[in-house]
């Protein structure tokens, strides 16, 4: 199930959403080499990704994991590590990773920017990303594995969307073997289903058990989602909310928006 778009117009062009997407793409192409050189990609993930053990000290310095045949990533005490919860938001592990996060961010983020304004939205995005990193660290504080990606911050946008626009319909792409179908579904159904899957996938982590898809930091998704849902009302601007209501009322869309 892949979100393609929503039936939720915006007051203004989502400038910050576009700039954040551009920043992620620029980091992927310039810093990470677009994934075309495996060594460059692995070094960017190792040196700039967030490693829980480097922030908690729960694993000895020098602990290493193999990223490629030629490269091990070593737990170190570089002062830059403290910036990694934010820096790592803008880095990714593959084109699929980048495009997936970018699509989810575009579908669910632009309307959140619309009710917050640009400055508050930037802060909200970063807070959700850092909260997601903290959730991942709490669950696995001794992990030497670097994590990258905007999915925790994007999860915050999804949690905020659930609170603000639960009845808005989201056009979801369903793929059944070789068949493709687009089905509009209410946002609450899409988002609660997605959140439930993250929790189910993360249960083995809490029990200290291995799980499939172990490279995905699902508790970062959970932490980001809950943070977004809890903080969105504190970040929304009442005057923008009222302007949106007036616009939707004029277009006859208010009942559908919730």
Please report, for the domain that includes residue 40, its CATH number: 1.20.1540.10
State both tokens at 83: 């910036």
In whole angstroms, what is the distance from residue 123 CA to residue 202 CA? Answer: 27
Q: Is 118 exposed, middle or buried (0-12, 13-18, 19+ CB in 10 A)?
A: middle
Provide the residue-wise pLDDT of the chain in tens; the chain has 258 residues: 799 999 998 888 999 999 999 999 999 999 999 999 999 999 999 999 999 999 999 899 989 898 888 889 999 999 999 999 999 999 999 999 999 999 999 999 999 999 999 999 999 999 999 999 999 999 999 999 999 999 999 999 999 999 999 999 999 998 887 788 999 999 999 999 999 999 999 888 777 665 444 456 899 999 999 999 999 999 999 998 888 888 777 776 666 555
pLDDT at site 252: 67
Q: In which domain, by residue range, is 170 found? A: 2-257
pLDDT at site 105: 98
Give me the helices (H) in 83-150, please.
84-87, 95-116, 118-139
In whole angstroms, what is the distance from residue 14 CA to residue 94 CA? Answer: 25
pLDDT at site 104: 97
Q: φ, ψ for residue 9 (rounded to 5)?
A: -70, 160
Number of domains in the chain: 1
Expressed in angstroms, the distance from the first to the final Cα of the chain is 23
In whole angstroms, what is the distance from residue 58 CA to residue 73 CA? Answer: 16
pLDDT at site 208: 65
């Amino acid at each position: 199930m892949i979100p393609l778009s929503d039936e939720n117009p915006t007051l203004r062009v989502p400038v910050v959403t576009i700039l954040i997407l551009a920043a992620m793409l620029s980091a992927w192409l310039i810093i990470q080499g677009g994934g075309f050189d495996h060594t460059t990609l692995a070094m960017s993930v190792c040196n700039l990704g967030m490693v829980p053990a480097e922030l908690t000290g729960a694993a000895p310095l020098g602990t290493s994991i193999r990223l490629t045949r030629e490269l091990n990533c070593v737990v170190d005490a570089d002062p830059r590590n403290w910036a990694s919860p934010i820096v790592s938001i803008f880095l990714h592990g593959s084109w699929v990773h980048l495009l997936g996060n970018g699509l989810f961010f575009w579908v669910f983020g632009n309307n959140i920017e619309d009710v917050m304004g640009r400055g508050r939205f930037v802060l909200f995005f970063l807070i959700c990303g850092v909260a997601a990193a903290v959730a991942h660290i709490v669950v696995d504080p001794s992990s030497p594995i670097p994590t990258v990606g905007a999915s925790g911050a994007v999860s915050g946008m999804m949690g905020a969307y659930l609170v603000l626009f639960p009845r808005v319909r989201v056009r979801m792409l369903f793929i059944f073997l070789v068949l493709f179908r687009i089905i509009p579904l209410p946002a609450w159904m899409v988002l609660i289903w997605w959140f439930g899957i993250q929790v189910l996938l993360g249960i083995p982590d809490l029990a200290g058990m291995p799980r499939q898809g172990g490279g995905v930091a699902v508790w970062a998704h959970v932490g980001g989602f809950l943070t977004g849902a809890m903080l969105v009302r504190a970040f929304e601007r009442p005057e923008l909310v009222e302007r949106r209501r007036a616009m939707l009322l004029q277009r006859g869309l208010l009942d559908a928006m919730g």
